[in-house]
Amino acid sequence: MARNIKYLAVHCTATSQTTSISAIQSYWQKQLGWKMPGYHFIIKPDGELVQLLPIEQVSNGVQGFNSQIINISYIGGVDQNNKPVDNRTPAQKATLLKKLKELKVKYPLAKIQGHRDFPNVHKACPSFDAIKEYKDV
Protein backbone atom coordinates (compact mmCIF):
# COMPACT_ATOMS: atom_id res chain seq x y z
CA MET A 1 0.00 0.00 0.00
CA ALA A 2 1.32 3.44 -0.89
CA ARG A 3 2.11 5.70 2.04
CA ASN A 4 0.78 9.25 2.20
CA ILE A 5 4.07 11.17 2.39
CA LYS A 6 3.55 14.58 3.98
CA TYR A 7 7.11 15.32 5.08
CA LEU A 8 10.68 14.88 3.95
CA ALA A 9 12.47 14.95 7.31
CA VAL A 10 16.12 15.93 7.47
CA HIS A 11 18.26 14.48 10.27
CA CYS A 12 21.81 14.29 11.53
CA THR A 13 23.08 11.16 13.25
CA ALA A 14 24.37 13.25 16.19
CA THR A 15 27.59 11.26 16.01
CA SER A 16 31.12 11.92 14.87
CA GLN A 17 31.50 11.98 11.10
CA THR A 18 33.76 8.94 11.35
CA THR A 19 30.96 6.78 12.80
CA SER A 20 30.14 3.81 10.59
CA ILE A 21 26.63 3.06 9.35
CA SER A 22 26.88 -0.41 10.90
CA ALA A 23 27.64 1.14 14.32
CA ILE A 24 24.59 3.41 13.98
CA GLN A 25 22.40 0.44 12.98
CA SER A 26 23.74 -1.60 15.88
CA TYR A 27 22.85 1.23 18.29
CA TRP A 28 19.26 1.32 16.99
CA GLN A 29 18.86 -2.43 17.43
CA LYS A 30 20.79 -3.05 20.65
CA GLN A 31 20.32 0.18 22.64
CA LEU A 32 16.92 1.32 21.39
CA GLY A 33 15.41 -2.05 20.49
CA TRP A 34 14.20 -0.83 17.10
CA LYS A 35 13.26 -3.36 14.45
CA MET A 36 13.37 -0.76 11.67
CA PRO A 37 16.14 1.76 10.96
CA GLY A 38 15.84 5.41 11.93
CA TYR A 39 16.22 6.66 8.35
CA HIS A 40 15.43 5.62 4.81
CA PHE A 41 18.65 7.22 3.57
CA ILE A 42 21.96 8.10 5.20
CA ILE A 43 24.73 10.21 3.65
CA LYS A 44 28.38 9.48 4.37
CA PRO A 45 30.95 12.31 4.63
CA ASP A 46 32.18 11.53 1.10
CA GLY A 47 28.66 12.16 -0.20
CA GLU A 48 27.76 8.52 -0.80
CA LEU A 49 24.02 7.96 -0.33
CA VAL A 50 23.12 4.65 1.31
CA GLN A 51 19.52 3.42 1.33
CA LEU A 52 18.70 1.63 4.58
CA LEU A 53 15.02 0.96 3.94
CA PRO A 54 12.62 1.04 0.96
CA ILE A 55 10.53 4.21 1.11
CA GLU A 56 7.38 2.06 1.06
CA GLN A 57 8.27 0.96 4.59
CA VAL A 58 8.11 3.04 7.78
CA SER A 59 11.35 4.05 9.52
CA ASN A 60 11.83 5.35 13.08
CA GLY A 61 12.73 8.98 12.38
CA VAL A 62 10.17 11.14 14.21
CA GLN A 63 7.92 9.67 16.86
CA GLY A 64 4.22 10.00 15.98
CA PHE A 65 4.85 11.00 12.35
CA ASN A 66 6.76 8.09 10.84
CA SER A 67 3.92 6.78 8.68
CA GLN A 68 3.92 10.13 6.78
CA ILE A 69 7.67 10.69 6.48
CA ILE A 70 10.67 9.86 4.39
CA ASN A 71 13.67 10.24 6.71
CA ILE A 72 17.07 11.27 5.36
CA SER A 73 20.16 11.89 7.48
CA TYR A 74 23.77 12.91 7.18
CA ILE A 75 26.47 11.37 9.36
CA GLY A 76 27.59 14.07 11.79
CA GLY A 77 25.81 17.01 13.39
CA VAL A 78 27.78 17.32 16.63
CA ASP A 79 31.25 18.52 17.56
CA GLN A 80 33.76 16.57 19.68
CA ASN A 81 31.91 17.71 22.82
CA ASN A 82 28.57 16.41 21.48
CA LYS A 83 27.30 19.97 20.95
CA PRO A 84 25.10 20.53 17.86
CA VAL A 85 27.06 21.83 14.87
CA ASP A 86 26.36 21.90 11.15
CA ASN A 87 29.43 20.03 9.98
CA ARG A 88 28.07 18.71 6.71
CA THR A 89 30.80 18.28 4.14
CA PRO A 90 30.30 19.93 0.74
CA ALA A 91 29.68 16.42 -0.64
CA GLN A 92 26.99 15.74 1.98
CA LYS A 93 25.30 19.07 1.24
CA ALA A 94 25.28 18.30 -2.50
CA THR A 95 23.93 14.77 -2.06
CA LEU A 96 21.27 15.91 0.41
CA LEU A 97 20.05 18.64 -1.92
CA LYS A 98 20.01 16.26 -4.90
CA LYS A 99 18.04 13.59 -2.99
CA LEU A 100 15.54 16.12 -1.62
CA LYS A 101 14.96 17.44 -5.17
CA GLU A 102 14.37 13.88 -6.44
CA LEU A 103 11.94 13.11 -3.61
CA LYS A 104 10.13 16.42 -4.11
CA VAL A 105 9.44 15.47 -7.74
CA LYS A 106 7.86 12.22 -6.55
CA TYR A 107 6.09 13.84 -3.56
CA PRO A 108 5.45 17.46 -4.63
CA LEU A 109 3.21 18.25 -1.64
CA ALA A 110 5.66 16.95 0.97
CA LYS A 111 7.10 19.60 3.26
CA ILE A 112 10.86 19.59 3.82
CA GLN A 113 11.79 20.22 7.44
CA GLY A 114 14.26 19.20 10.09
CA HIS A 115 13.59 16.73 12.88
CA ARG A 116 13.59 19.68 15.32
CA ASP A 117 10.70 21.32 13.42
CA PHE A 118 8.17 18.66 14.44
CA PRO A 119 5.95 19.21 17.50
CA ASN A 120 7.33 18.16 20.89
CA VAL A 121 10.85 17.50 19.61
CA HIS A 122 13.48 18.72 22.04
CA LYS A 123 16.69 18.32 20.07
CA ALA A 124 18.73 20.39 17.63
CA CYS A 125 18.67 17.76 14.86
CA PRO A 126 19.70 18.29 12.05
CA SER A 127 21.84 21.12 13.54
CA PHE A 128 20.75 23.63 10.85
CA ASP A 129 17.51 25.25 9.66
CA ALA A 130 16.28 22.82 7.01
CA ILE A 131 13.04 24.76 6.39
CA LYS A 132 15.00 27.89 5.47
CA GLU A 133 17.76 26.10 3.55
CA TYR A 134 15.38 24.08 1.36
CA LYS A 135 12.45 26.50 1.04
CA ASP A 136 12.97 26.78 -2.73
CA VAL A 137 13.27 23.03 -3.41
Catalytic positions, written as ranges = 11, 39, 115, 123, 125
**DSSP calls for 50-108:** EE-S-TTS--SSSTTTGGGEEEEEES-BB-TTS-B-----HHHHHHHHHHHHHHHHHST
Q: Find out whether 4 and 106 touch, Cβ atoms under 8 Å.
A: no
Please list, in sequence order, all residues whose beta carbon lies within 8 angstroms of the beta carbon of residue 134, skipping any fewer than 6 positions away.
10, 97, 100, 112
